[in-house]
Amino acid sequence: MMTADLIAPSGFGEICGVAKKAFKLEDLDTRLREKGKENMVEEYGWVRELREVGLVPHTAFGMGFERVIRWFCLVTHVKDTIPFPRTFERHPLP
C-alpha cells in the first residue's frame, strides 16, 4: 500500500495524509493477517464483500482542518483552533 503525509514545518506535524487502498481481496486478506485481524469476520465482512464483487482502485485523503488552521495562524496548541470545543457545560444533543 502506498501512503503519503504532508508534514508542516517548524514542528507543527502532519496536517494531511493520503493512502492507496487495497482493492484486491487477496491484498486485503494479507493485510488483515499482518495486523492480526483475520478473526474479525463480522467487523470486516462488508469490506471483504466489496472486494469480492470488484472494487474500483481508489485512494483516500484526509486533512485535519484544525491542524491546518493551527499551522497557518501559528497557534501553540491544536485545542485552541477547534471551532466547537468540548466542555463539561456544553450538551451537543438535546
The count of domains in the chain is 2
pLDDT value of residue 94: 63
pTM of the model: 0.59
Q: What is the pLDDT along the chain (94 residues), one digit of tens a residue?
A: 689 999 999 999 999 999 988 888 888 888 888 989 888 878 888 888 888 887 788 888 999 999 999 999 999 998 899 887 777 777 767 6
- If asked whether residues 52 and 26 sit together in one domain, one would say yes
Instruction: Count Cβ atoms within 10 A of the Cβ of residue 70 and give its class: 0-12 exposed, 13-18 middle, 19 or more buried.
Output: buried
- If asked whether residues 50 and 78 sit together in one domain, one would say no
**Separation between Cα atoms, residue 16 and residue 62, nearest integer Å:** 6
pLDDT value of residue 16: 93
pLDDT value of residue 71: 94
Name the residue range of residue 70's domain: 1-21+62-94
